[in-house]
Structure 1
Amino acid sequence: MENSRIVIDGTALTCAQVGRIAREDVIVAIDPEGLDRARLAWKIAGEVAEEQPVYGRTTGVGANRVVDVEWEDADAHGLRLLRSHAAGAGPLLAPDIVRAMITVRLNQLAAGGSGVEPGALQALSDVLNLGLLPPVPVYGAIGTGDLTALASTALCLLGERSWLPTPEGEQQRGPGFTLRSSDALAFISSNAATLGEAALAATDLRTLLDASTVVAALSLFAVHGSEEPYSPVVHEAMPHPGQQEVAATMRTLLAFDHQAPARIQDPYGYRAFPQVHGPALEAAGYAEDVITREINAAAENPLIDTVNHTVWHNGNFHTAYVGLALDSARAALFQTMALSAARLGTLAEPSFTGLSPFQAATDASSGIMILEYVAHSALADVRRFATPAALGGAVLSRGVEDHAGFSTQSARATSDAVAAYRIGLGCELVAAVRALRMQGRTPSGGPLKAAFDVAAAFLDPRMEDRPLDADIAVAADRLPTLSRLLNQIPTGFQEARPTASPGGSA
């Protein structure tokens, strides 16, 4: 099937495609133009290195950049470089992050500019298609190059280090590619692991932010909330794009269920939802744009210039843009997750739901009381992860490398924050669906009814006191389903909705 094959060309890889290659059973192919770009850059890199010093090819690296590599030592120099840099530590990165790293590096090489032998592209493609995983420890990068991760990968390609065994315990053989010593620095001089994790985190974040709008609409319906805060007039008066997008989506979700509001004004969790969730959508969108630019860039140092037949020593390896964008996204995520926790509080309150406290089956029962604790525990972690990684600093390699943006740590914090957000949002979904079940109400049609039906199909209907951990886990795992449902709403649906007077019932 065509949709199970993704072609890498060095120019058009998306964060979503990185996620598919990392997590799904797809075949990776290489566009011939990407191979041609890599082949030309490799040829020119060799020619230029014969005429002038080229960092990492004819010199040492870091503070050793002033040391020339003698021609008789050139073959051993690159291998020593790989061995010395394959020194990460700590637990291993998750398999999907490692596959994302390999995907990004493959695409970067296809962009041209590295000067690595073009055979490396086929080797990395084989690694992905064979399901091979190099051992990549968590610790070793600070946003200026994933040297330890890619050095470990290179040693696996050379046969010096073993690929990780399969889940069945079988040891796998690699593609048998021999990386030239002169290409060693060019191969590992990349932020592919950081960008791979960032691409996964950005994709997951956008999915959950979309699902959050659906969950918020279910909660609003359950507490007989007012639609007035989502009026087009309100958001034309404050025309932030993200805010307007959230309000329009809420209007679409609620189009079949105009209900008389129970209050003249709802709490901020409902009334200010567009103003708080909108910035998160915009921040996530900006982060994804930044990451997409980076994974399709020839961000190499030195950069092989095939047009002018030269090399440029530069700082494109520095991923300050990525780290700062993800730092901003996590801050915005905390703000909107705080509203989710606030909405959960209203779903436990009789004055909002018309039910017993905590949606309990009896007056003495605890019902969903514990969900608030779980949600606020997850929220506390998101607040902790929201600390900007960019506030750090480092001076390394005898003072030559005198700055670090810590985008690696920002990407990791974003992954962790997204995981915690998933749990908190799952708690709200459990509470909203339970409230509607106890009220004996369901949305009457359109995408909100579809969302309720999807959620109700996998959430346990029992109301007596019982462990809710399985409910939270199931709800959290199925949030992407609600996101896909939202993205399947036909264009123009909102304009075609049934008419109803404000405050009336559809």
Structure 2
Amino acid sequence: MAEQVLVDGNALTCEDVARVAAGASVLVDPAVMDRADASFHLVTELIGRREVYGRTTGVGALRIEQLDPESSTEHGRRLLRSHAGGIGDPLAPEKVRAMLLIRLNQLAAGRSGAHPRLITALADALNSGSLPLVRSVGSVGTGDLTALAETGLTLAGERPWATGGIPTVPIDTGDALAFMSSNAATLAQAVLAARELHHLLRASHVVAALSFVALDGNPEAYATAVHLARPHPGQIRCAAEIRRLLGMVGLPKPGRRLQDTYGLRAFPQVQGPALDAVDYLHEVLRVEINSSTENPMVSVEAQDVFHHAHFHTAYIAIALDQARAAVHHVAELSAARLSDLVEPEQTDLPAFLASGPPGSSGVMILEYVAHDALARLRQAALPVTLGTAVVSRGLEDHASFATQAARQAATAGIAYRQVLACELVAAVRALRMRQAELVDIPVRAAFDLADGVLDPDLTDHSLTGDVQRAESLLDDFAEL
């Protein structure tokens, strides 16, 4: 039976988003339609006796303009058309699928006032593999207006589907703003980037453990007593994972050196903050993908609508900034361990792990490749939350730029994977040259996996293929 994700408006997980992004289908909880129907009929009744932003008025600085109730459907179309001005490259299909799922789940909470047929349409689009063309540029972190407007026009039949297609869905004035009022595209990119960073951090334990063996690291730095003395959660988890991978039991034996370089010795202290930051990011995203951000919010319980600022994404932007900065520090340690692996004083092996005639270069080039990737990661780690924007004639006078933070997180993931891959190639080569006995410890499985995939030739040759294969191995390492 094909994998299916239940959508009920309040229990979606980041893993669910990743599964649907990869092709899983969705099943909408029947209770969702009753909630959405009640919300729709309530706001339809309320606009007859009170002002409601975007339904009886214009939007943004035009909130003071009163709409003609006789032309509600046409105003909704104009709203979508005017906001569908995104530019740049189209979002990748998996990101569009993730966006559609998140918007579906938000609408399923029943606080938008949008017609229930939009919920059915989004579910049908996902289950039929139908995707709108969504441009990547057009948001500053206060609502993905361009992306959702492009999607709305596609649902309404005014734009062609990029893939597949479903029957046209009527969208009137109330539906137009209710559908656009979301950060679903930003959240989609953030969820997928956070998942990649999480997997790479898991894999980095394995890569660091292989380098530890290759460098004869001092296990004292990972002793339980050491980390209980400063018990940050991520740091304790990292040290425990290294002990598990290396089969460390009881008091550690003396190492080859009294103190290792920071790449080994400070790994838990640097990896720990990254683990904690990505955990926090996942919690922020879990809350966001199950939250109602439509402005105004329709409350069936209170029998009223509320104008608010849930569309503001400071939580997401700040969590993403923190995670990228923390991962950058971890990547710096990976590059540092790579430098140790090519240093004879650290390994008792030839410089650059060279094998062949005098002057052979070995893995010399890996340092250059790793630092190129690290430089790109460093740029991606720069905070986006130090800037803002004032738009709509001064009414909207602050922006989080969470969208840019999510894009940068994806870039950071690509670069971090490349840095780790360079370290992995060097660590496996050093272990081969030393013919190290990994005996029966958990990290042996990782070495055997890499040893069977990476080129066994130790003479000078292009390392491009090995680095690419090592990048792919990291997904397997994350599960070890």
More deviation, 422-431/450-459: 450-459
Aligned: 1:278 with 2:272: yes
Aligned to 1:377: 372
Contact 1:442 1:452 in 2 (8 A): no
Distance 1:433 1:442 in 2: 12
Aligned to 1:297: 291
Aligned to 1:233: 225
Alignment of structure 1 residues 206-355 onto 2, 5 Å: 206-255=198-247, 261-355=255-349
Distance 1:133 1:373 in 2: 40
Distance 1:407 1:309 in 2: 32
Distance 1:442 1:15 in 2: 40
1:335 deviates by 0.7
Q: For each residue in 1:32-74, what CA deviation from the matched residue of structure 2 results, as whole angstroms up to 9, or x when unmatched?
A: 1222222221121111112211111111000000111111121
Distance 1:319 1:272 in 2: 34
Contact 1:280 1:332 in 2 (8 A): yes
Distance 1:414 1:173 in 2: 31
SS in 2 for 1:28: strand
Q: For each residue in 1:100-120, what CA deviation from the matched residue of structure 2 results, as whole angstroms up to 9, or x when unmatched?
A: 111110111112211111111
Aligned to 1:441: 436
1:256 deviates by 6.2
Unaligned runs of 5+ in 2: none
1:332 deviates by 0.6
Alignment of structure 1 residues 154-193 onto 2, 5 Å: 154-165=152-163, 172-193=164-185
Distance 1:256 1:274 in 2: 15
1:49 to 47, 50, 53: 47
SS in 2 for 1:138: strand
Contact 1:224 1:260 in 2 (8 A): no
Distance 1:9 1:218 in 2: 44
Aligned to 2:58: 60
Contact 1:37 1:112 in 2 (8 A): yes
Distance 1:100 1:410 in 2: 17
Aligned to 1:199: 191
Unaligned runs of 5+ in 1: 166-171, 486-506
Letter aligned with residue 104 of structure 2: L
Distance 2:194 2:11 in 1: 17
> 4+ runs of 1 displaced by more than 4 Å?
256-260
SS in 2 for 1:484: coil
SS in 2 for 1:283: helix
Pair 1:98–1:442, CA change in 2 (3 A): farther
Letter aligned with residue 151 of structure 2: T
- TM (norm. structure 1) is 0.92
1:442 deviates by 4.3
Contact 2:72 2:172 in 1 (8 A): no
Contact 1:330 1:385 in 2 (8 A): yes
Aligned to 1:360: 354
- TM (norm. structure 2) is 0.97
Aligned to 1:6: 5
Letter aligned with residue 5 of structure 2: I
1:175 deviates by 3.5
Aligned to 1:493: none
Contact 2:217 2:264 in 1 (8 A): yes
Contact 2:54 2:173 in 1 (8 A): no
1:433 deviates by 1.0
Q: For each residue in 1:274-308, what CA deviation from the matched residue of structure 2 results, as whole angstroms up to 9, or x when unmatched?
A: 00000000001001100110000112210001101
- Let me know the Cα RMSD of the aligned residues: 1.4
Aligned to 1:406: 401
The alignment covers a number of residue pairs equal to 477
